[in-house]
Amino acid sequence: MKSLLKKGSWGKRSCVMTIFLVLVMMFAVPVQAQDLGQKGLSGFYVGALVGYANGKYTSDMSAEIDHEPDGGLFGIQVGWSHPVGPIILGIDGDIALTKIEGEDSITLMGFKSDVTHDVNYLSTIRARLGFMAGPVLIYGTGGLAMADLDNKLVVSYYGQHIGSDEKSSWHTGWTVGGGLEFPITPNLALGAEYLYVDMGKEEVTMNIGGYPVTDKGDLDLHTFRFGIKYRF
């Protein structure tokens, strides 16, 4: 599965795909779906999502690390929504397998450090508030974000390998964003969503040749996602 999510043309083209699918939702969905309104966006749901993420990772490990991880994601989502007058309230939860990767190298007095940071999983739990604009639900959302990262460090001295270490870390932060949702049947809805994710700064200590090296990293992500939901 992760081979389908690797960086490159697939991930970057998913942004274009998301924009295209938004236009499809607004103009190419059958006319009868426009009559579903709030009814087609109420109740519990399960669904699938696919998308692309890019962002920035900064760290002050001995010297400044600064790179831009990116890649694809695929996951599942669950939630609930309910109309309250003209407003639709809801709660969403999701978890995605990702291939968001970034790397950087720094050289200081002959010592070269090769650093990689890979996001393996990304999950959010969010509240949602929206309103109907014709047949389309427009909403804002925000809440908790969590991610599992692999951190790897390889150190050499003038080309001579000194040591390497790899550790996983669990990051917790927050997310905010918005999206569109369009019911196409009483049970099915399509959606497109943008989320900004701030994972804050986490500290990971790795062992290189018997010496501890601390990576204090700060990860921010921009995610673009398309999903389909089935409501019960």
Name all domains of the chain by residue range, CATH numbers in brackets.
2-231 (2.40.160.20)
Report the DSSP beta bridge partners of residue 131.
87, 138
Q: Report how far Cα 27 is from the mean position of its chain's Cα atoms.
A: 27
Q: Which pLDDT value is given to residue 209?
A: 76
Contacts of 83 (CB under 8 A, 6+ apart): 38, 41, 42, 89
Q: Which residue has the higher pLDDT, 2 or 43?
A: 43
Minimal CA–CA distance to 49: which of 24, 21, 29? 21
pTM for this predicted structure: 0.81
**What's the pLDDT at 15?**
54
pLDDT digits (tens, 9 = 90+) for 132-189: 888 889 999 999 999 998 888 888 888 888 888 888 888 899 999 999 998 888 888 9
Query: Bridge partners of 66?
Result: 58
Question: How far, in whole angstroms, is CA 61 from its chain's centroid?
Answer: 25
SS3 36: coil
